[in-house]
Amino acid sequence: MKKGGKKYRGFTLIELMIVITIIVILSGMSIAGYSRFTQRQAAMDDARNFVSEMRKVQSLAKNLVYPDGCGSGLGGYRLLSDCSGQEDCKNMTVDAICGGSEGIVTKSEPILSAAYFTNDVNVLFEAGTGNLSPYGTYLMSDTKDPYQVTVTTDSNGVINMAETEVTPTI
């Protein structure tokens, strides 16, 4: 910039303030986007853990794995959510059905960390086939973000996972 025949180098104060303002706005938007991304990934990780647990129990039932103390016929396995309240609904228990009575195979284990089950989960896996009932949709919601992950099952025992974003109500 020239002023009165002298050459000045550098930026004016107003130019620097505009550049700094733009940097602050862009960084704020990227931080918010990253935070939302990590919450979404945590919900997806929880859904993967749930699907993995379902497939593990399905494998136990399909391969007729008899737990200790199950001398008479194995009827199947049951996967239950341990819910005392919506946001406490993060643990699962696996029960073996032996000779008409249920016995706990594994104690309550945390499956979800960032999300929670919106409804109780109670799935029965048939011994020998691994088919499950009731089949349908299981929803997990994130506690901080309007975001849900859906796990669907069908009558043949196929387990799938999908993600959906819920529009917040005003």
| Residue 96 scores a pLDDT above 60 | yes
How many residues make up the chain in this entry?
A: 170
**Inside any domain, residue 18:** yes
Alpha carbon distance 17, 24 (integer Å): 10
The 10 Å Cβ neighbour count of residue 37 is 10
Domain annotation covers residue 129: yes
Q: Is 170 among the domain residues?
A: no
Residue 144: inside a domain = yes
2 within some domain: no
Range of the domain at 31: 12-165
Please report the pLDDT score of residue 4 as a whole number. Answer: 61
Q: pTM score, two decimals?
A: 0.76
Q: Is the pLDDT of residue 169 over 70?
A: no
Which one is predicted more confidently, 90 or 131? Answer: 131
Q: Are 142 and 131 in contact (CB under 8 A)?
A: no
pLDDT digits (tens, 9 = 90+) for 105-138: 777 788 888 788 878 888 889 888 888 888 888 8
Residues 5-60: pLDDT tens digits?
Answer: 677 788 899 999 999 999 999 998 889 888 888 888 888 888 888 889 989 999 99
Count the alpha carbons within 13 Å of 114 in the hemisphere toward its beta carbon.
21
- The total number of structural domains that make up the chain: 1
Per-chain mean pLDDT for the chain: 80
> Where residue 151 sits, what CATH number does that domain have?
3.55.40.10
Token pair belonging to 52: 């993995």
The answer to the question of residue 4 being in a domain is: no
pLDDT of residue 149: 81
Rounded Cα distance, 138 and 46, in Å: 12
Q: Is there a domain that residue 6 lies in?
A: no
* Residues 82, 32: Cα–Cα separation, whole Å: 33
